């Protein structure tokens, strides 16, 4: 009898199964397409105790009770399909853990439906890609604490280990785990886009080669910007295509794909009324990139006249570093605000500093700055967007001139900076006591009698702005 079952042997499932087995647990695996199970056992399993099954009944029967089954299948309908296939063979008290990028509302529904059948369910965010899954991912399990206790030991062992402990914690009730993973991905989109924007400025304005940009990225990675995404970016800059000998990054089509988690983050932020412009603009940037044909056509119709400026390259690089730090900070701040609001609305009971702690290792957004963010949150856990702290304000104000300069410079050279600019505008909005929303309220009241409030007296007002007949 094996201790853990795992369904779904694509990249994530294979690596996670190996990781679990290498920590000393016996694992049964199953994949819809049997051939993949066979290949996995033949090609990747060496001394690990992993057994493959080709029908779901014998897979379930191979597991110790209460059974613990991890799903690593495509998010959406496949998860429901697999649950339906499993149900006839499961018993009360068995546990299903969905480790895919499921939409949090689907997870809430599944938890409820399975609870009625006596089956426990955890929605667990897994971050770190295939290497993370194999060597130690960041794990974000949510659901009932009872379900978590059943697999806590395994999860803590397979997670990435840092000096502040394993990158796994019980995130919270219900779909808290998948919610946090969704926002993690929203932040990931924003940081990736911000890095791409500074790359664009370096190649188009400073005329740097990928090698030179790689050197700058590596230098940044040794400082405050130290992070997984910075590290892979400098490695990408240096990577040469074997066939052509050219830098591979220069040969890659500029159409960024997406699987939905970034979009869900923005949609949810809009639903909950929390401003996340940098996260949303990162999704928009990917959508814009997809209109390659139109972009190419239109670029031929616009005559671009570039300013004749002599730039101090070292200064521009320093400003770009600051601008990126500013954008990374504000992207995290927006994401954390969203998680905080969701935690209240959906009663997740999420501990935000703990979330930052488990993002420190294994995951795609692991970064040095997380320590600073945790320090700010630990001073005041109700500082939901991190801005209400002298440390945050001083950190951002130190970089304000840089991000202003960089975004202005980019515009002069016709370079879009959706995330850098929106990070700056987010900050400027949040530190502005007098926004022009008074005019919007007046316009709403003018055409739709939507009413408004006043600054000089209490009450709700409506004005006949002009006679309607």
Residue numbers belonging to the annotated binding site: 8-13, 31-33, 73-75, 101, 127-129, 184-185, 189, 259, 286, 444, 450
Element (DSSP H or E) covering residue 86: helix 77-86
Q: Binding of ligand NDP at residue 129 (CB under 6 A)?
A: yes
Where is the binding site for NADP(+), in residues?
8-13, 31-33, 73-75, 101
Q: Give the C-alpha separation, 337 to 333, whole Å.
A: 6
Of 5, 6, 13, 352, the residue at the interface with ligand NDP (CB under 6 A) is 13
In the bound state with ligand NDP, the residue whose beta carbon lies nearer, of 6 and 205, is 6
Contact string (CB under 6 A) for ligand NDP, positions 50-79, x = contact: ----------------------xxxx--x-
Copy the structure tokens of residue 225: 């910007």
User: Does 10 help bind ligand NDP (rule: CB under 6 A)?
Assistant: yes
Taking the least distance from each CB to ligand NDP, the nearer of 267 and 441 is 267
Tokens of 364: 């795609």
Q: Which two tokens stand for residue 180?
A: 């946090």
CA distance linking residue 265 with residue 186, whole number of Å? 6
Q: Does residue number 123 form part of the binding site for ligand NDP (CB under 6 A)? A: no
Which of these ranges, 125-133, 249-257, 312-320, 461-469, lies near ligand NDP under the rule CB under 6 A?
Answer: 125-133
Residue 333 φ/ψ, nearest 5 degrees? -65, -40
Task: Name the token pair of 406.
Answer: 């960089």
How far, in whole angstroms, is CA 239 from its chain's centroid? 25
Q: Does residue 205 bind ligand NDP (CB under 6 A)?
A: no
| Active-site residue identified among 3, 48, 68, 181 | 181
User: CA 2, CA 59: separation in Å to the nearest integer?
Assistant: 10
Please tell me the distance from the alpha carbon of residue 447 to that of residue 464, in angstroms, as a whole number.
10
Q: Cβ(78)–Cβ(106) under 8 Å?
A: no
Contact set for ligand NDP, span 241-280 (CB under 6 A): none
| C-alpha torsion angle, residues 142, 103, 352, 4 (rounded to 10) | 30
Considering the rule CB under 6 A, would residue 100 count as an interface residue with ligand NDP?
A: yes
- Residue 28 pairs in a beta bridge with 5, 51
Active-site residue, 314 included: no
Considering the complex, state which of residue 105 and residue 295 has its C-beta at the smaller distance from ligand NDP.
Answer: 105
Q: Which is nearer to ligand NDP, 256 or 430 (CB)?
A: 256
Give the residue nearest to ligand NDP (CB). Answer: 100
To the nearest 10°, the Cα dihedral for 64, 69, 70, 73?
140
Annotated catalytic residue 464: no
Helices 390-412 and 313-345, interaxial angle, to 10°? 120
Binding-site member from 2, 5, 6, 9 for ligand NDP (CB under 6 A): 9
11 belongs to the binding site for ligand NDP (CB under 6 A): yes
Examine residue 41 and tell whether it contacts ligand NDP (CB under 6 A): no
Q: For residue 423, give both structure tokens.
A: 């990070």
Output 228 or 372, the one with its CB closest to ligand NDP.
228
SS3 455: coil
Task: Report the residue number, 10 or 256, with the smaller CB distance to ligand NDP.
Answer: 10
Give yes or no for residue 36 binding ligand NDP (CB under 6 A): yes
Q: What span, in angstroms and rounded, lies between the C-alpha atoms of 267 and 273?
A: 10
Shortest Å distance, C-beta 130 to ligand NDP: 6
Q: Closest by alpha carbon to 231, among 240, 219, 242, 248?
A: 219
Minimum Å distance from CB 6 to ligand NDP?
Answer: 10
117 three-class SS: coil
CA distance 269 to 432: 21
Instruction: Please identify, among the stretches 11-19, 38-46, 198-206, 365-373, the one whose residues bind ligand NDP according to the rule CB under 6 A.
Output: 11-19
Q: Does 186 interact with ligand NDP (rule: CB under 6 A)?
A: no
| Shortest separation between residue 10's beta carbon and ligand NDP, angstroms | 3
Nearest to 125 by CA among 108, 106, 103: 103
Annotated binding residues for substrate, written as ranges, equal: 101, 127-129, 184-185, 189, 259, 286, 444, 450
Contact residues for ligand NDP (CB under 6 A)? 8-13, 31-33, 36, 72-75, 78, 81-82, 100-101, 126-127, 129
What are the catalytic residues? 181, 188
């Amino acid at each position: 009898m094996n201790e853990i079952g795992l369904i779904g042997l694509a990249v994530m499932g294979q690596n996670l199964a190996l990781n679990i087995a290498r920590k000393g647990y016996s694992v049964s695996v199953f994949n819809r397409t049997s051939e993949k199970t066979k290949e996995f056992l033949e090609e990747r399993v060496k001394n690990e105790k992993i057994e493959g099954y080709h029908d779901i009944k014998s897979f379930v029967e191979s597991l110790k009770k209460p059974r613990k089954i991890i799903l690593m299948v495509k998010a959406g309908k496949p998860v429901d399909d697999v649950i339906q296939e499993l149900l006839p063979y499961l018993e009360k008290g068995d546990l299903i853990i969905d480790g895919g990028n499921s939409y949090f509302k689907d997870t809430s529904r599944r938890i409820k439906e399975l609870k009625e059948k006596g089956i426990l369910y955890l929605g667990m965010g897994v971050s770190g890609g295939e290497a993370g899954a194999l060597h130690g991912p960041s794990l974000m399990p949510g659901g009932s604490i009872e379900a978590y206790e059943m697999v806590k030991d395994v999860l803590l062992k397979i997670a990435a280990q840092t000096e502040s402990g394993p990158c796994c914690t019980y995130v919270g009730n219900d779909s808290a785990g998948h919610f946090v993973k969704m926002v993690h991905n929203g932040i990931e989109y924003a940081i990736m886009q911000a890095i791409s924007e500074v790359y664009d400025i370096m190649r188009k304005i400073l005329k740097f080669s990928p090698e030179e940009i790689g050197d700058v990225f590596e230098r940044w990675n040794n400082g405050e910007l130290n992070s997984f995404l910075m590290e892979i970016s400098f490695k990408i800059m240096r990577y040469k295509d074997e066939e052509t000998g050219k830098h591979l990054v220069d040969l890659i089509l500029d159409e960024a794909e997406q699987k939905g988690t970034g979009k869900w983050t923005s949609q949810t932020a809009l639903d909950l009324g929390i401003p996340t412009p940098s996260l949303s603009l990162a999704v928009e940037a990917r959508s814009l990139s997809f209109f390659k044909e139109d972009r190419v056509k239109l670029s031929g119709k616009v005559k671009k006249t570039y300013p004749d400026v002599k730039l101090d390259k070292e200064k521009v690089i320093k400003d770009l570093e600051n601008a990126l730090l500013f954008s990374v900070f504000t992207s995290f701040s927006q994401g954390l605000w969203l998680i905080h609001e969701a935690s209240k609305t959906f009663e997740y009971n999420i501990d935000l500093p703990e979330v930052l702690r488990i993002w420190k290792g294994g995951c795609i957004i692991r970064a040095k700055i997380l320590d600073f963010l945790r320090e700010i949150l630990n001073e005041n856990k109700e500082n939901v967007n991190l801005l209400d702290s002298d440390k945050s304000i001083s950190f951002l104000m130190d970089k304000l001139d840089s991000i202003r300069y960089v975004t202005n410079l980019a515009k002069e050279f016709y370079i879009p900076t959706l995330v850098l600019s929106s990070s700056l505008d987010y900050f400027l909005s949040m530190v502005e006591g007098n926004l022009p929303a008074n005019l919007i309220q007046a316009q709403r009241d003018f055409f739709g009698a939507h009413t408004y409030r006043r600054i000089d007296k209490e009450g709700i007002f409506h004005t006949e702005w002009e006679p309607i007949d």
